Structure 1
Amino acid sequence: MHTAFADATSRLGCVPADSAAKAWGHGGRTIGAPVTTSYGTAWLRVLEAPAGKEGGKLWTGSQEAAAILPAEIPRPRLLESADWAREGYAYRAELSSYITAPVCSPTPDLTEHITLPGAWWPRLRQAISAVAATQAPADRSRVITQDYIHRTIPRYLGDVGTDTTVRRWTLAHGDLHWANLTSPELTILDWEGFGPAPYGFDAAHLYAYTLLTPGLATRVRDTLADILATPDGRLAELTVAVILLQAADRDPIHARLAPHVREHAQRLLENQRASRTS
């Protein structure tokens, strides 16, 4: 991957920034770092796959997002890309605008209170709405499948007493959490996994990752109340809950979130039952 990164700088006419540490993606399948170009600093990301197995959702995500998302959504801009193969592997290099604002958290969950500018919140709300209002590419895979929702909600939450069929699918970032958001200027990072999801998925996802900081969780819920306080939004919340509970078996971040997520899901179900009997 280090060799591929060097190849990418040559192909795209840039050089690594001085003493910049490289960031690795899940499983070492991607590598990224700031680079210097003729027009300033940019971010270079390189993806790798065995030759013949490149493609798919994560491979094409950044380019498809760049092609269809409205300019109003605050995100890095894809500047250039290059594809090549070497010694049985395929590579894709993507050069994007460099975001100077730091991420809100080094981990997806928010473990301590942070102060965000007042204008940050409506901009987040507008961005989530703009994504959901965008028509998804016809061949773009869903963030989560209907079959998964039918199978996994009963497995982790039991009989929820309601139909788990998603009635409304809209475009979503698909991984909206605090390590993919910057402040004080809002930028939403890492679009490669975007796709259709249950309406309210992004709002539910961000809220769940805020449960360790109750004050900010309340602010998230207040900001996105018109999305979450709907039958579609509640199903999105239950869907996110089981995704995170399943992930708790695999890593410590989701393990520490799990009790809070389970408590939140049970509260949603209790409120749902109470509304039926009132």
Structure 2
Amino acid sequence: MTTLVFTAPDAAEDVTQMRRALAAAAHEFQVTPAGREVRGWQGRTLGRRVGTSRLRLVSVASDRAGGRLWQGTALADTAVPWSVPRPRLRGVLDWTCGTPIAPNMPNSSTTPAVVGSSPVLDHDPGLPRIWWGDLHASSRALAVVPTDRVAVRQSWIDRSFRRFLGINPHRINSRTTGHADLHWAKLTTPDLDHL
């Protein structure tokens, strides 16, 4: 599943458009992208390093721009306590291109070393006990942040447990706040930071 959801969009023109939008945002922020491209969920995001920061593009069809998808980064930056390690939001550019794509560009500071190069960890990263303690403490701090956003719905659990795990789905009977897209390529070392 990972290889399908963290890949570039199928349409070559969408890939080109996203790269142009990222370059335009880099110019606006006066930064130079470097390193490899990193894709997010279903090809909707594109990120690249810019010095000690990361430039991230969220892209959807213009008629779907705005709302929850657009507000997530800025809302998290203000709602999540500073005790939870994460990049600091430096700025956001919102615009709609002449073609049906609309980028939202947070420029976040971050440390350069990630635990894994992809969402799937294929080696023992040898993380120290203190790192795991920091992850546990930041997860507990995040869990009490109030939100009305829902990332995992019962319908998804019903489909996915049977399809990917071959077991009957569990019923959701309580919820807590968490990072909806936390994986190894979004965690840093030697100091914990969430990308």
TM-score for both structures, normalised by structure 1: 0.56
Partner of 2:152: 144
Structure 1 residue 183: deviation in Å?
1.4
Partner of 1:116: 127
Task: Summarize the Cα distance change of 1:98–1:2 in structure 2 as closer, same or farther, 3 Å threshold.
Answer: same
| 2:21 maps to 1:4 | yes
Structure 1 residue 169: deviation in Å?
0.8
Q: Tell which structure's C-alpha radius of gyration is larger.
A: 1
| Residues 77, 97 of structure 1: 8 Å contact kept | yes
Partner of 2:167: 157
Q: Secondary structure at 2:120's aligned position in 1?
A: coil
Runs of 5+ consecutive residues of structure 1 not aligned to the other structure: 190-278
Partners of 2:56 and 2:44 in 1: CA distance: 10
Task: Summarize the Cα distance change of 1:26–1:134 in structure 2 as closer, same or farther, 3 Å threshold.
Answer: closer
RMSD: 2.4
Structure 1 residue 127: deviation in Å?
0.7
Q: Percent identity?
A: 33
Partner of 1:55: 66
| 2:54 maps to 1:43 | yes
| Residues 22, 33 of structure 1: 8 Å contact kept | yes
Structure 1 residue 177: deviation in Å?
2.5
| Residues 86, 110 of structure 2: 8 Å contact kept | no
Structure 1 residue 109: deviation in Å?
2.8
Runs of 5+ consecutive residues of structure 2 not aligned to the other structure: 1-17
| 2:194 maps to 1:188 | yes
| Residues 16, 33 of structure 1: 8 Å contact kept | no
Spell out the pairing of 1:183-222 with structure 2 (5 A cutoff). 183-189=189-195
| Residues 34, 98 of structure 1: 8 Å contact kept | no
Partners of 1:175 and 1:126 in 2: CA distance: 18
State the aligned residue count.
Answer: 175
Structure 1 residue 118: deviation in Å?
2.6
**Structure that is richer in helix per residue:** 1
Partner of 2:14: none
Once the two structures are superposed, what CA deviation does each residue of 1:51-81 show, in whole Å capped at 9, x if it has no partner?
1211354433212211211100011111101
